[in-house]
Chains A and B, each alone.
Chain A
Amino acid sequence: MSLTKRGDESTSYLEPVRERHATLVDLLDRVLDKGVVLHADIIVSVAGIPLIGVTLRAALAGMETMLKYGMMEAWDESIRSWETNYRKLKQRDFLKNDQVILDTLGAHFYKKGIYAAWRYGHFYLTDNTLFLYHETYDEVLLKIDLAQIRGMVVRSEKSFTNRTCEVLYVIVDNEKVHRLRSRDVHTLKNTIATFVADNGTYTGADLVIPEYEDSIATILADGEEVTHRGRLWHLYEENAAGSIANTTWRPGKLYLTNRRLCWWYQTESKFLLDIPIESICGCYEDEKSWSLFKQDTPVLDLVYEQDSVKRVASFSGQGVEDWREAIQSAINQNGTQPVRAKESCPKCNQLSDIEHLLNKGCSHCGWMSARMQRKALGAPV
């Protein structure tokens, strides 16, 4: 965008504009809102904007927003009723003549291609359908036929930002799962439940949710089962051609099956890691700095072999300790004893067993990890 001024115009000073189209809105501002108002009972259209103004303004000045925020409270009755009717018209359009039993703000999780997000709107529950409606766009975002609901359950979930929120899972006929949020999901669930009780809908807390659009389901082999899953960050190394290697923490999901460990990269919707359990040499808890502001974060370091090269994959997030145990027991169950991975001491460069090096220190030169040093000082680790 350019900031160039219009140059020195021929006029010695700014001339006021009175071009018809450029100023119609300016005129309306004045003619409709201002001017002498008569305060007498002999007048036909009294104070406030006459009805006529509304129609015109709606077309010209984005009136809807003004209506919504009640910026013009001094309207006379006729205008207020016009507005009410207008709203009714808009909202009840999809509801037909059904009575609204519950009406609350909420959201549903929407996923299509690479787009995935909570879409917010207004839940309207009738005795046969649940609607999620977006008023501004006048769009029904979600429509669930109550007769098709097979089960419902509320789960407390943690998001990546570590905020806990309650999510209502609604499972419908074709095993499709809807994730819904609302101000009070329990009320929503219970109200729906009163209408679907006769349909054999299961609402117990132990309801098993078919994995919600679970990415792992697409790559599972016969007899393969997910034993552990969770949201974990992965220290991902970007190795674009011609550029310097750049490692950053990326959000995703870690899955442990009875055969392998996979990490799903949320942003690009694909698996970036797929490691057979027999290739895993071991896993360790460690601390790494996340950034300038977040030091000493517990991380899970996984040593594995790929193409005869040992590699390390780092994960961070909730329950790192549980993950270490889960992976460890998966390795043990696999029959193969964990390969005692060797690593060179950062100080003297002598090869030692990794676990020994990290937990006991280097037996050659006495090097200790930062974590051990702190432990030795009695500081919390």
Chain B
Amino acid sequence: MSTGRYLYCIVPGAHKIKFGPAGIEDSDVYSISHNNLSVIVHECDAKPYDSKDEKVVAKWVLSHEKVIELAMDKFGAVLPFRFNTIIEAEDEQEVDNHVSNWLTEDQETIKEKLEKVRGKAEYGVQISWDVEAISNEIIREDTEFQALAKEIEKMPEGLAYMNRQKLENLLKKRLEKEADIYFKQFYSAIKGCVDDVKIEKVKREPEPRQMLMNLSCLASDGARALAKELEKIEKRDGFFVRFTGPWPPYSFVEG
């Protein structure tokens, strides 16, 4: 007897669909419908999936993603659940009711969100620059930096060290300013060609690369306009673009 339901995503419309053994650990995936909404689930025990083996977890996560992608292709709009979202109940009969009850309670916001993501997908955009190359360019173009650098060469070692630190701090500030300018410029260009943007935390990259911005974008039509904009950025010297997708709209269903 399974008293839990693992949730993949919500799709619009009432469906009685069976995906077969497409889920996590080859679980049978099917839908529970209520109020013109369906939740894609599989039956499971009422405890989260847990493993210390990263390969196993990666496999689970990929299965989770695959089911949602299937649903997205089929129904054109999905609200994906976070991995390991499981609804439980005291007994087998109750658990499907729990799912239906929840769908009823939240149906308005759910329908609203589904409407928002219909026909659209999420795209990841990560823009990085080559700090070394950009720094060199700043120094090349700035006579003040050059003069200071020359002066340092003549100094005794201890003093030169201190002044080099000073120069580096100055450069850092300049870089921050530049980064800020680029961020605004790229952000407004990207915002203009997608339906919604979420700013994510930037991540560490192997040096000398540094991530300037990490965005999740909601876009329709295969994000053609976005791709053209990114192409322009990628063509600049010292800039790199990472463009991933299409993803289910994970970043646009929260709240």
Contact = CB atoms under 8 A, between A and B. Distances in A.
B57 A36 contact: no
B246 interface: yes
B48 A50 contact: yes
Contacts of A42: 87-89, 98, 102
B61 A35 contact: no
A292 B238 CA distance: 37
A14 B65 contact: no
Given A34-B253, A45-B84, A291 B244 contact: no
Contacts of B244: 16-18, 22-23, 26
B243 A5 contact: no
A249 B49 contact: no
Interface string B231-254: 100110110011111111011011
A24 interface: yes
Interface stretch (A56-64, A176-184, A186-194, A322-330): A56-64
A44 B158 contact: no
Residue among A17, A30, A33, A249 with max Cβ neighbours from chain B (10 Å)? A30
B89 A53 contact: no
A206 interface: no
A292 B155 contact: yes
A31 B87 contact: no
Interface string B93-125: 000001000100000000000000000001110
A102 interface: no
B71 to A, nearest CB: 13
Nearest to B39: A36
B48 A51 contact: yes
A23 B234 CA distance: 19
A55 B159 CA distance: 48
A30 B79 CA distance: 13
Given A3-B130, A26-B124, A56-B54, A35 B159 contact: no
Nearest to B246: A16
Contacts of B82: 31-37, 50
A294 B163 CA distance: 13
B250 A34 contact: yes
B48 A45 contact: yes
A31 B253 contact: no
B245 A43 contact: no
Size range of the chain B interface in the assembly = 35 or more
Contacts, number: 173
Residue among B81, B132, B246 with max Cβ neighbours from chain A (10 Å)? B81
Given A17-B243, A35-B250, A38-B102, A62 B83 contact: no
Contacts of A53: 83-84
B80 interface: yes
A52 B87 contact: no
B47 A44 contact: yes
Interface in B22-57: 46-52, 54, 57
A18 B62 CA distance: 12
B4 to A, nearest CB: 7
A115 interface: no
Contacts of A55: 50-52, 54, 57
A56 B83 CA distance: 12
Given A35-B81, A36-B85, A52-B57, 15 more contacts: A5-B234, A5-B237, A14-B231, A14-B243, A17-B244, A18-B244, A33-B82, A34-B251, A36-B7, A44-B86, A44-B87, A55-B54, A251-B158, A290-B159, A293-B155
Interface of B: 4, 7, 9-10, 46-52, 54, 57-58, 61-62, 64-65, 79-89, 98, 102, 122-124, 130, 132-133, 151, 154-159, 200, 204, 208, 216, 223-224, 227-228, 230-231, 234-235, 237-238, 241-248, 250-251, 253-254
Query: What are the 6 closest A-B residue pairs judged by CB atoms, nearest first?
Result: A35-B82, A30-B250, A34-B250, A44-B86, A13-B227, A50-B84
11 contacts: A14-B230, A16-B123, A24-B62, A28-B61, A34-B251, A35-B81, A36-B85, A37-B82, A45-B85, A52-B49, A290-B156
Interface of A: 1, 3, 5, 13-18, 20, 22-24, 26-38, 40, 42-45, 50-53, 55-56, 59-60, 62, 160, 248-251, 290-294
